[in-house]
């Protein structure tokens, strides 16, 4: 194969110096040093690894001949792997509860398969997992390493901080974990969890051991090096069977954790939205026409139950359904997962506060805009009034933002809800009269025309909603 000339190092892959992910054109490659290359060869020769890869649990990976420049040219790279491309990278703080739970279970499943074969993973981070639609996939192939007998899992702490603790908070206390994970790239520390789970809460499943005991052990052993502790544990007879038992115990605990939120405001939207049957049919027809031509990536913003995301998925390669309400996203995810849908990715995000860049220098975890700005089609259906009225975002800003999430020449499919519409009126009723003099259809149409070419326009039969299809920059 020929690697194209320019390579771009993946800013999220520097933590383990033994390997480095980089992009060459559309390809996702991983350079391995001598040790990592030896690990890879051993891994490829096992039974469990190819089996998990064939089952889709681990991202498809093959060794290739390095045919072009490698990243950080001074490093002694010994081999190059090529990975399957994940259609849209999503961070754990953009997942719903059930997504985080399924991701945690997959990580444990992989570890449970690896240990008997003499392998473990170097880490246990939620960032080891990604999605093909509603299907979790383990992406950190560089994380596999031969297990040394007598050693517990090095990734346990990370697993707790980025997977188990967020799940405990949501399942036991109903606390949304997303803001916490977004704020701290390394997740939630035992010390913080200990304070939240005081009193009788300390008896909740998983809490006495993985939170309190874990925290106490950390405090008491803060002076001991991990090298010393490892050899002490080995001398005391820690075995691979014990490591497996721990993984099984974690699996059992995570399976027990459940979170079914009470009905949220948006959960029943499709029944209460006030569309007439005629409006809905016309809207669906309009959207269906707008997503033809096999677009690579469609964004459905304010996706609610995913009605239009599903419609788009009939034509598009991949659809990202963004919705602010975690309960609604969780419902959608569970439905998609049950259907084994691999082309619709549901995400939790407030579009008035989209994910910023995070981690080292703010680029280790890419923000939403740089990931999204290549959409071939962006759907913003019954969303604009929520941003413009509900969140006071000036209308030109809303249009700029939506247009900015389209690739140049991409299509924006947007619905404008007139101030006279009952739904818009409800939002307006919460604000002082006359606060939004610019929120009207003529102004909106002018703004669209300034940013692109309006190809199609349809007023819905009820008369208070209009749909537009705009070629951005066209």
Ligand X SMILES: C[S@@+](CC[C@H](N)C(=O)[O-])C[C@H]1O[C@@H](n2cnc3c(N)ncnc32)[C@H](O)[C@@H]1O
Q: Using the rule CB under 6 A, is 398 a contact of ligand X?
A: no
Q: Rounded distance, CA 407 to CA 379, Å?
A: 13
Q: Using the rule CB under 6 A, is 351 a contact of ligand X?
A: yes
Q: Smallest Cα–Cα separation from 378: which of 464, 296, 443, 285? A: 296
Q: Rounded distance, CA 383 to CA 415, Å?
A: 7
The DSSP H or E segment spanning 122 is none
Tokens of 192: 């913080």
278 binds, among ligand X, another protein, none (CB under 5 to 8 A by kind): none
Q: Using the rule CB under 8 A, is 292 a contact of another protein?
A: no
The least CB distance from residue 469 to ligand X, in Å, is 15
Q: Using the rule CB under 8 A, is 255 a contact of another protein?
A: no
Strands 465-472 and 452-459: antiparallel
Tokens of 143: 């994380």
153 binds, among another protein, ligand X, none (CB under 5 to 8 A by kind): another protein
x-or-dash pattern for ligand X, window 296-325, by CB under 6 A?
------xxx--xx--------------xxx
Given the structure tokens 């490892």, which residue do they identify?
230
Beta bridge partners of 465: 417
x-or-dash pattern for another protein, window 15-44, by CB under 8 A?
xxxx----------------x---x-----
Closer CB to ligand X, 324 or 469, in the complex: 324
Q: Which of 160, 379, 413, 417 binds another protein (CB under 8 A)?
A: 160
Q: Rounded distance, CA 375 to CA 407, Å?
A: 5
Helices (H) and strands (E) in the chain, counts: 19, 16
Q: Using the rule CB under 6 A, is 176 a contact of ligand X?
A: no
Q: Using the rule CB under 6 A, is 381 a contact of ligand X?
A: yes
The least CB distance from residue 136 to another protein, in Å, is 22
Query: Cβ-count burial of 219 within 10 angstroms (0-12 exposed, 13-18 middle, 19+ buried)?
Result: exposed
Q: Which of 383, 384, 399, 413 binds ligand X (CB under 6 A)?
A: 383
Q: What is the per-residue DSSP string for 268-311?
A: THHHHS---HHHHHHHHHHHHHHT-S--SEEEEET-TTSHHHHH
Looking at the chain, how many residues does it have? 474
266 binds, among ligand X, another protein, none (CB under 5 to 8 A by kind): ligand X
33 binds, among another protein, ligand X, none (CB under 5 to 8 A by kind): none
Closer CB to ligand X, 235 or 263, in the complex: 263
Query: Is 166 in contact with 100 (CB distance < 8 Å)?
Result: yes
Restricted to residues 179-238, the positions that interact with another protein (CB under 8 A) are 209-210, 213-222, 224-226, 228-230, 232-233, 235-238
Q: Rounded distance, CA 91 to CA 178, Å?
A: 10
381 binds, among ligand X, another protein, none (CB under 5 to 8 A by kind): ligand X
Q: Rounded distance, CA 406 to CA 411, Å?
A: 7
Closer CB to ligand X, 7 or 460, in the complex: 460
Which residue ranges make up the site for ligand X (CB under 6 A)? 266, 269, 273, 302-304, 307-308, 323-325, 328, 350-352, 381-383, 386-387
């Amino acid at each position: 194969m020929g690697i194209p000339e320019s390579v771009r190092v993946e800013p999220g892959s520097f933590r383990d110096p033994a390997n480095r992910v980089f992009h060459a054109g559309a390809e996702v490659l991983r350079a391995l040093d001598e040790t990592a290359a030896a690990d890879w060869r051993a891994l490829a020769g096992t039974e469990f690894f190819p089996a998990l890869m064939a089952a889709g649990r681990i991202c498809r990976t093959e060794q290739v001949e390095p045919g072009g420049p490698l990243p950080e040219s001074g490093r002694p790279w010994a081999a190059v792997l090529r990975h399957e491309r994940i259609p849209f990278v999503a961070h754990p703080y953009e997942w719903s509860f059930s997504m985080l739970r399924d991701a945690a279970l997959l990580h444990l499943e992989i570890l449970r398969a690896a240990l008997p074969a003499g392998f473990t993973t170097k880490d246990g981070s939620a960032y080891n997992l990604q999605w093909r639609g509603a299907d979790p996939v383990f992406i950190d192939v560089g994380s596999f390493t031969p297990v040394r007998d007598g050693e517990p899992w090095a990734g346990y702490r990370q697993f707790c901080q980025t997977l188990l603790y967020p799940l405990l908070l949501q399942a036991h206390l109903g606390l949304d974990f997303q803001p916490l994970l977004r704020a701290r790239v390394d997740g939630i520390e035992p010390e913080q969890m200990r304070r939240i789970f005081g009193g009788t809460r300390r008896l909740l499943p998983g809490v006495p051991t993985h939170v309190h005991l874990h925290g106490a052990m950390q405090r008491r052993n803060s002076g001991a090096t991990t090298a010393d502790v490892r050899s002490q544990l080995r001398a005391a007879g820690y075995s691979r069977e014990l490591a497996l038992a721990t993984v099984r115990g974690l699996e059992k605990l995570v399976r027990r954790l459940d979170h079914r939120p009470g009905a949220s405001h948006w959960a029943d939207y499709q029944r209460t939205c006030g569309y007439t049957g005629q409006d809905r049919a016309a809207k669906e027809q309009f959207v269906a026409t707008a997503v033809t031509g096999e677009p690579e990536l469609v964004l459905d913003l304010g996706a609610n139950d995913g009605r239009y995301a599903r419609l788009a998925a009939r034509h598009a390669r991949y659809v990202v359904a963004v919705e602010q309400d975690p309960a609604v996203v969780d419902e959608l995810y569970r439905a998609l997962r049950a259907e084994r849908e691999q082309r619709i990715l549901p995400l939790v995000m407030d579009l008035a506060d989209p994910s910023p860049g995070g981690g080292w220098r703010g680029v280790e975890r890419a923000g939403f805009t740089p990931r999204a700005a290549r959409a071939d089609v962006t759907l913003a259906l019954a969303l604009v009034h929520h941003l413009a009225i509900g969140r006071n975002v000036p209308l030109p800003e809303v249009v700029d933002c939506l247009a900015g999430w389209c690739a140049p020449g991409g299509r924006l499919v947007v619905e404008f809800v007139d101030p006279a519409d009952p739904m818009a009126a409800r939002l307006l009723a919460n604000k002082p009269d006359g606060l939004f003099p610019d929120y009207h259809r003529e102004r909106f149409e002018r703004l669209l025309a300034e940013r692109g070419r309006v190809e199609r326009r349809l007023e819905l039969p009820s008369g208070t909603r209009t749909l537009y299809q705009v070629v951005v920059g066209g």
